[in-house]
Amino acid sequence: MTTQSADLQTLAALNKRFIHNFVTNDVPSHDAILHPDFRAIYSAGNHIDRGTYLKYWATGFDPKVITYWDMRDQRINVVGDTALVGATNRWIRVINGVETIGMTCYTDTYVRVGEKWLCILAQLTPVQPDNYPGDETLVVKYFNGVLQ
C-alpha cells in the first residue's frame, strides 16, 4: 500500500470516528484526535476554542432531538502533511414535535504530527436543498443515535 493510499484510509477512518464521537458524545475519543491548537468555526460564523468545543461535545448530540444523522459525499485531499477531510451530514431534528430536515457540510483540516493525523480546524456550512448530495454518496447513518 502506498503512503497516499494509507493516508486516505487513515483519514477516512478518522472521519468516521469523528462522526461516531459526536453521535455518542465520546469526549475522550474525540479529544485524542484533536490538535492542541484546535478550533472550530460554526455555521453562524462563531469561532470556538478547543475547550469550549469539547465541553459542547459532551452533550451536543441528543438522540431524542436528532433522530437521524448521516455522513455522505466524503472528500479527502492530502497535500504533504496537511489534509482536508470533508463531507455532508443529513439530519432530522424534532423540536416540540416539529420535524426539521437539513444538511450541513464540513471541512476538517488535519495535520500530520509524527505518525498521527490530528484535526486542527473544523468548519461547518449549511447546505441549501438544491445542493444536497444524493443518498448514493452515503457513508454511515444513525437512527436515534444507533449506527445502522
Tens of pLDDT, residue by residue over 7-60, are 999 999 999 999 999 999 999 999 999 999 999 999 999 999 999 999 999 999
Q: CB–CB of 113/10 below 8 Å?
A: no
C-alpha cell at 60: 451536543
Question: Collapsing DSSP states into helix, strand and coil, what is residue 88?
Answer: strand
* Per-residue pLDDT, 1: 52
* Per-residue pLDDT, 79: 96
Q: How far, in Å, CA of 113 to CA of 35, rounded?
A: 9
* Per-residue pLDDT, 13: 98
Domain coordinates in residue numbering, the chain: 3-147
Alpha helices (runs of H) in 24-122, residue ranges in sequence order: 27-31, 50-57
From the options 3.30.70.60, 3.30.720.200, 2.60.450.10, 3.10.450.50, give the CATH code of 3-147. 3.10.450.50
